[in-house]
Amino acid sequence: MLLLPIHRATWAHIWAPAARTARIPKGTGLHGLRHYFATLLIHRGASVKAVQLALGHSTPMVTLNTYVGEWPEAQERTRVLVDDALGHVPRVPAG
């Protein structure tokens, strides 16, 4: 069986009926699904490299530039790592 890639020209014919059946909001397309897939992976603990490979990004930097805000625990984790190494450092209020 020969599998051919899905092209934008034929995507709507496949997507529209499937989206209606799944009750996906009108206007949600492939780009939105890619973002959903990426953020789902990130929030479930996937590494930058895993997300990069799953999305087909050329480098991990592309993934980080696009989704850096989706790893909110990164800042807190970094602080904990430094605190563990150097001792507790009091948090300075932002402002």
Number of neighbours of residue 32 by Cβ within 10 angstroms: 12
Task: Report the distance separating Cα 65 and Cα 75, nearest Å.
Answer: 16
User: Helix, strand, coil proportions of the chain in percent (round to 5)?
Assistant: 65, 0, 35
Q: Which of 94, 56, 52, 90 is nearest to 71 (CA)?
A: 52
Q: Poorest-confidence range of 9-13, 17-21, 31-35?
A: 9-13
Q: Which of 2, 1, 20, 5 is nearest to 56 (CA)?
A: 5
Q: In the chain, what are the domain boundaries?
A: 29-86
> Which position has the higher pLDDT, 30 or 1?
30
* Burial category of 38 from C-beta neighbours within 10 Å (exposed 0-12, middle 13-18, buried 19 and up): buried
* 21-54 residue pLDDT tens: 999 888 888 888 889 999 999 989 899 999 999 9
Percent of the chain whose pLDDT exceeds 90: 34
